[in-house]
Amino acid sequence: MSLEKTTFKSLTYPLYFVIFALSTSPSFAKGLADAYKDKFYIGTAVSPDSLFDKDIQRLVSSEFNSVTAETNMKLRHVAANQRAYDFNWSDSFVELGVKNNQFVVGHTLIWHKSLPDWFFVQLDGKRLNRDQLLTSMRQHIYTFVGRYRGQVKGWDVVNEAFNFDGSYRSSPWLDTIGEDYIEKAFEFAHQADPGAELYYNDYGLVNPKKQDAVVALIKRLKKKGIPIHAVGIQGHYSLTYPDLKVLDKTIARFAKLGVKVMITELDVSVLSFPGQEERGEDAVISTERMTALNPFAEKLPDEIEQQLTDRYVSLFKVFLKHHNSISRVTFWGITDASTWRNDWPVEGRTDYPLLFNRDLQPKKVYHALLELVDQH
C-alpha cells in the first residue's frame, strides 16, 4: 500500500465519523424553518425579554428564518419621550436578525394603538392639523425605515385599519388626516427604502365585509401605482376558528390580486373565548368562574394536546396548498410561557398556543409539522 493511500484513508475515516456524529446530534437536527425552506419562511415574534434570553435565542436562531418585533418597534416604544427616539432595543433586534441571516420584519409603522400622546400635538398643546400630522408621519417613517434600510426586509406599514363592518377604524391618523393616510404611509415607506417589501396587516380577514374592504384597498393602491407587496393575515386562531374552507378561499382571493400572502401572528388557543364582559384587565371574574374559564391551569390533557396538534396540521395543509402564494408563516411567539394568549381575551389563564412548551421543549405539534412537510 502506497504512502498516499494510507494517509488518505487515515484522514477520511475520522472525517466520515465526524460528519455522521454531527448529523445525528440534536444540535445539528433539522429545524422547522429548514424543513419548510422550499415552501415559505417560518417566522416568530421576538418579545422585549426573549431578545436577551440565551436559551430562547438558541431556539430562535435554529428553528426560524424570519423574525418580527412583537412590541418594541411600535411607536410608543421607540418614541415614548417627547421628540426623542430610543432605538436601543430595535437596533439589537435588527442586528441579531441580520447576523442570524433571518428575514427581518418591522412591526408596525402606523397603528391605532401604542401611540404616544405628544406625537399628535404641538408644543403648545394644540392638536396637529392634517398637513402637520402628515409631516410628522413622514418624518417618523423616514427616520425608522431609513435607519434600517436594507436590513429590515419587510414592514407592516399599516396595521388593523378596518372595522368588521368594513368601515375605516377611528384613530388619530384617520380622524386628522383622512382615509388617504394609508396611501401616504405606503408612499413614505417606499421613499424611505425602495427595496423593502410593504404590507397591510390585519386580523379577522375571513370576515366578508372586512375582507371586501381590504381587497378594495389593495386594488386602489395598485391602480394608483402605490407599492403594496403583501397582505398579512393575522392568525390569532382557536381549535374551531376560523373555518378552514373560508380561510382557504380568503388566501386564494388575496393571492389573485397579485400580492403575496403572509400568515402573521399565528397562535392557536385551546381555551374558550368569552363575551365582552369577561375580557381584558378590568373584568371582574369570580373564582369559580375563573376555574371554568381556565381549565388547564396545571396541565394540558393528552386529548386536548392531540386536538391542538390536529388543528395545526389542518391549518398547515391549507398553507401548504397555497405555498406558491404564501411567502411567510410567522408564529406570534416562541414558548407557551410567554404568549399574550395567557392574558387575552381573559387575564391570567394558562394557554398552550405555540410550538414549544414552558420548558422550551418541542411539543407534539412541532413534530407533526415536521412530518407533514416531509410528505409534501
Active site residues: 160, 265
User: DSSP code of 50?
Assistant: G
Tally of CA atoms within 13 A in the half-sphere of 316 that contains its CB: 29
d(CA 188, CA 138) in angstroms, rounded, equals: 6
Q: Which residue has the cell 417560518?
A: 42
Residues that bind ligand GLA (CB under 6 A): 107, 159, 203, 234, 265, 340
Q: What is the largest CA-CA distance in the chain?
A: 92
| Residues facing 238 on adjacent strands | 269
Which residue, 85 or 340, has its beta carbon nearer to ligand GLA?
340
SS3 (DSSP) at 203: coil
Of 177, 153, 138, 155, give the one whose Cα is nearest residue 98: 153
Which residue, 265 or 305, has its beta carbon nearer to ligand GLA?
265
Neighbours of 86 (CB within 10 A): 13
| Residues facing 328 on adjacent strands | 41, 262
Which residue, 181 or 203, has its beta carbon nearer to ligand GLA?
203
Q: Which residue's C-beta sits nearest to ligand GLA?
A: 340
Cell digits of residue 126: 394644540
Residue 159 CB, nearest approach to ligand GLA (Å): 5
Residue 313 CB, nearest approach to ligand GLA (Å): 23
Residue 17 CB, nearest approach to ligand GLA (Å): 47
Residue 232 CB, nearest approach to ligand GLA (Å): 9
H-helix segments, the chain: 3-24, 32-35, 54-63, 75-78, 88-99, 130-147, 172-177, 181-192, 208-223, 244-256, 287-293, 302-321, 364-374
**Residues whose CB falls within 8 Å of the CB of residue 107, separated by 6 or more in sequence, listed in order:** 45, 68, 69, 70, 73, 74, 155, 156, 159, 201
Residue 137 CB, nearest approach to ligand GLA (Å): 18
Which residue, 42 or 105, has its beta carbon nearer to ligand GLA?
105
Which residue, 94 or 372, has its beta carbon nearer to ligand GLA?
94
Which residue, 159 or 350, has its beta carbon nearer to ligand GLA?
159
How far lies 113's CA from each of 125, 149, 172, in Å?
20, 25, 10
